[in-house]
Chains A and B, each alone.
Chain A
Amino acid sequence: MGAIIKRELYSFFCSPVAYVVMAIFLFFSGVFFSVVCLGNDTSNLTYVFTNMFLVTVLLMPIMCMRLLSDEKRLKTDQALLTSPVSILGIVLGKFFSACVLYLVCLSIYIVFGVVLSFFVTPHWTVILCNFLGLFILGAALIAINLFLSSLTESQMISAISGFAVGLFIYLLDNFAAAIPVSFISTALTKLSFLSHYQNFTVGLLSLADLIFFLAVIALFVFLTVRVIEKKRWS
């Protein structure tokens, strides 16, 4: 697993992918931070983090599109699957490598905290909670996009389906509201990434939200393993 994480990070930073993702992420983070916080003289980062939801949803497909699809296209999966590594190890290696890149993006919020600390004493625990929320949201989206990239040999299809799923996740609350059948709409609301994430942005750390995202990660990592496994048997 360690070898795969190392290789993926090497490949991220050898190609423009890592820089494009970081540039987009840092640009929007910076814009939201300067407009919302510095522009309005507030140390409340809630709005910054709320706005980052959509950016993250749309950024993760770009980050994850080639993780598994390229392996299949270039037949390098033969090297991985014939090495003494379990399929779970391979998938987790890919997953954590994307998480590390994402953490590098997120590190800008430490800078924001430090900037704020020049003016006021920031609520570090709240910022930490925001940070954790954005991280775990991103990790869940990485797992979903990793799964999507395991389904196809084309990066393009992987990315586009990632955007589609991302938009669906973003609009899930609206869909839920439009459905007249109450139990379906309640069920959809419970699955809403946004409402689970919003608790983090206001500094509310609830076990339920944490478990929700962890469950999404576990589910999609599991599904990805099954997809690769299935390919061996069919």
Chain B
Amino acid sequence: MVEVKNITKCYGDKKAVDNVSFTVNSGEILGFLGPNGAGKSTTMNIITGYLSSSSGTVTVDGCEILDDPKGVKSKIGYLPEIPPLYMDMTVQKYLEFMYDLKKVKLDKDAHIEEVCRLVKISSVSNRIIKNLSKGYKQRVGLAQALLGNPPVLILDEPTVGLDPKQIIEIRNLVKSLGKKHTVILSSHILSEVQAICDRVVIISNGKIVADETTEGLSKSLAKSNRLLVQIKGPKSGVITAVSNVKNVKSIKTEREISEDVYEYIVEANEDCDIRSDLFFKLAEEKWPLILLQSADLSLEEIFLKLTTDTEYSSNKGGKK
């Protein structure tokens, strides 16, 4: 649906976006993640045609931004970081203006009403935008992006500055929108991306450092299969027994939980599932398994690792 190929944007000598490529499939919700100043907004502005890239191409639903800017723009609904609201207009008048500006062909009154209902701003439709709260302004911005039912929605930090209740509402809304639209959503909040998105692209210093599904990301970054286990049994005996299980690389004692119960980190060889072997081995010895869970990195840890670990970025940055 959206194909971004090798886009680079230079401001003088500084490369704000450096050779970024990714694709978004139809009906997918893509999370675009990165610390502040990583180039998220710049990339989004290039996709929507607000800025032009120094090199590279953007294709939306078969239209190329340079050849057919109007075609691309009419397929995208865009909510920038700061919602582009005319403060002196009422919500209704503003949406009517945006409707005309986008040259939407649907039934005007019914369509605007429907969009207002969807983002729950019907009750404020006659108020002047200037007087609305931040949450409502954000929703009016979202309503504006939804006008004309564009196949692609690009939302730049849609939940920034909202209270927790509003954040949940907007997230649910975006999730439901993902059923009918292709959504690209930027954020620097990880739990948000984890909650909403099917796939994550992480960008740091203008470069893509990861492009994977949310689960795949944790898996591939854990590098090896590490398990956190708690076993009731004599420490030395357990260590010897577990070390002999097939494919176990190492076992390390973490701490003592209670008498005779210890917590261990078991590391397996790559791409091997040792859980059943481990279970049967312990069952054989009659040492109960109290806890068994993956010790993979959380998304937060991965994010920090990716965006601060320069070695990783330079080695694997190009790998998709």
Residues of A within 8 A of B (CB): 2-4, 6-7, 10-11, 14-15, 74-86, 232-234
Which of B18-26, B100-108, B200-208, B241-249 touches A? B100-108
Q: A75-B84, A79-B84, A84-B102 are in contact. List 11 more A-B contacts (CB 8 A).
A: A2-B100, A3-B97, A6-B97, A11-B88, A74-B84, A76-B84, A78-B78, A79-B144, A82-B48, A232-B51, A232-B52
Please name the 3 residue pairs, one residue from A and one from B, whose CB atoms are nearest each other, closest first: A3-B100, A79-B84, A84-B74
Residues of B within 8 A of A (CB): 11, 45, 48-52, 70-71, 73-74, 76, 78, 80, 82, 84-89, 93, 97-98, 100-103, 144
Contact B50 A81 (CB under 8 A): yes
Known contacts A79-B98, A82-B50; A10/B93 CB under 8 A:
yes
26 pairs, CB–CB < 8 Å, chain A vs chain B: A4-B101, A6-B100, A7-B86, A11-B88, A14-B88, A14-B89, A74-B84, A74-B86, A74-B87, A75-B80, A77-B84, A78-B45, A78-B82, A79-B80, A79-B84, A79-B101, A79-B144, A80-B84, A80-B101, A82-B76, A82-B78, A84-B70, A84-B102, A86-B70, A233-B52, A234-B11
Q: How far is the CB of B99 from chain A (nearest CB, A)?
A: 8
Contact B50 A232 (CB under 8 A): yes
Summed over the interface, the residue pairs from A and B with CB atoms below 8 Å come to a total of 69
Closest to B81 in A: A75
Please name all residues of chain A whose beta carbon is closer than 8 Å to the beta carbon of B102 when the two chains form the complex: 83-84
Please name all residues of chain B whose beta carbon is closer than 8 Å to the beta carbon of A234 when the two chains form the complex: 11
Please name all residues of chain B whose beta carbon is closer than 8 Å to the beta carbon of A233 when the two chains form the complex: 52
Closest to B72 in A: A84
Q: Tell me the bound Cα distance from A23 to B110 in angstroms.
A: 40
Closest to A86 in B: B70
Q: Tell me the bound Cα distance from A42 to B113 in angstroms.
A: 59
Q: Tell me the bound Cα distance from A21 to B144 in angstroms.
A: 32
Q: Tell me the bound Cα distance from A2 to B73 in angstroms.
A: 18
Closest to A80 in B: B101
Contact B86 A83 (CB under 8 A): no
Question: Which listed residue, A4, A14, A75, A82, touches B73 by the CB 8 Å rule?
Answer: A82
Q: Tell me the bound Cα distance from A14 to B86 in angstroms.
A: 12
Q: How far is the CB of B129 from chain A (nearest CB, A)?
A: 11
Closest to B47 in A: A82
Known contacts A2-B100, A3-B100, A232-B51; A83/B80 CB under 8 A:
no
